[in-house]
């Protein structure tokens, strides 16, 4: 492999990984918004989103459980993806990949049109060091068995006065990790088929890859590998939470 080929491989990897992190963050935030909406007017029979429905089916379709799950989606999953994606985005800018960053943002804006909440995680936007510091607080909080950014979560969503019990929230997060692993595996299979789809996330991935025709296959491969990596971290996080609060 020549130096030029290595540089191109790293570039494609960074673009694919960055986009997947930010795409997952938007999808997680939207699931959180739908769970909060459900907690205000619980009506399980009228739920349309299958991921929300499966999460509640696997646990308890109560308003308080929906809030525990919403915290898990927005803070435990989505925020980590958003902050990591922002760090990768800043690295792309450092390496003069402004056109790639523009294409990533353009595709994300298209994806946001179908979401309930369209200004996700803007309260965490900042420079490289600020973003890194927030990520360390988020990861460190869970490692120490705490619930980071609780006040921010309440400020953003204004959920009903439900106390966030750590055991309940951690159990909800474990359910989310189980679903994430399954979802990532299914999405990876769909990417390999790369045909027409009704899956908004897959459409967004294919749209971005299509913007890089000379690297389209490599881009899809990079995203697919990133999904494998995401499943690994989901399993690790699930294992660690299971140690803190055995279930």
Q: Dump pLDDT digits (tens) for 122-165.
A: 888 788 999 999 999 999 999 999 999 998 998 888 876 678 88
pLDDT for the residue 130: 93
Structural domain containing residue 40: 3-244
87: CB partners within 8 A, 6+ apart: 128, 131, 132, 135
When pLDDT is averaged across residues 84-101 and rounded to a whole number, the result is: 93
- Select the highest-mean-pLDDT range: 15-29, 113-127, 230-244: 15-29
User: Total domain count for the chain?
Assistant: 1
pLDDT bin (cut points 50, 70, 90) of residue 3 is confident
Residue bearing the bigger pLDDT, 142 or 4: 142
Q: Which of 47-61, 91-105, 188-202 has the lowest mean pLDDT?
A: 188-202
User: What is the average per-residue pLDDT within 236-244?
Assistant: 88
Residue 198 confidence (pLDDT)? 78
């Amino acid at each position: 492999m020549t130096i030029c080929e290595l540089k191109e491989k790293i570039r494609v990897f960074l673009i694919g990984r960055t986009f997947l992190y930010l795409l997952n963050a938007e999808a997680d935030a939207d699931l959180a918004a739908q769970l909060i909406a459900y907690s205000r007017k619980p009506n399980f029979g009228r739920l349309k989103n299958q991921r929300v429905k499966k999460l509640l089916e696997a646990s308890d379709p109560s308003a308080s459980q929906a809030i525990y799950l919403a915290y898990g989606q927005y803070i435990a999953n989505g925020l980590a993806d958003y902050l990591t994606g922002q760090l990768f985005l800043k690295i792309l800018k450092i390496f003069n990949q402004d056109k790639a960053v523009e294409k990533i943002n353009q595709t994300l804006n298209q994806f946001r049109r179908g979401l309930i909440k369209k200004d996700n995680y803007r309260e965490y936007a900042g420079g490289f060091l600020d973003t890194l510091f927030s990520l360390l607080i988020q990861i460190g909080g869970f490692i120490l068995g705490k619930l980071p950014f609780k006040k921010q979560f309440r400020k953003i969503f204004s959920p009903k006065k439900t106390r966030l019990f750590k055991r309940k929230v951690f159990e909800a997060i474990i359910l989310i990790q189980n679903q994430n692993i399954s979802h990532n595996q299914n999405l990876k299979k769909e990417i390999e088929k790369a045909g027409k789809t009704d899956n908004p996330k897959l459409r967004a991935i294919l749209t971005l890859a299509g913007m890089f025709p000379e690297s389209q296959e490599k881009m899809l491969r990079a995203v697919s590998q990133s999904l494998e990596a995401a499943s690994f971290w989901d399993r690790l996080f699930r294992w660690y939470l299971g140690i803190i609060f055995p279930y």
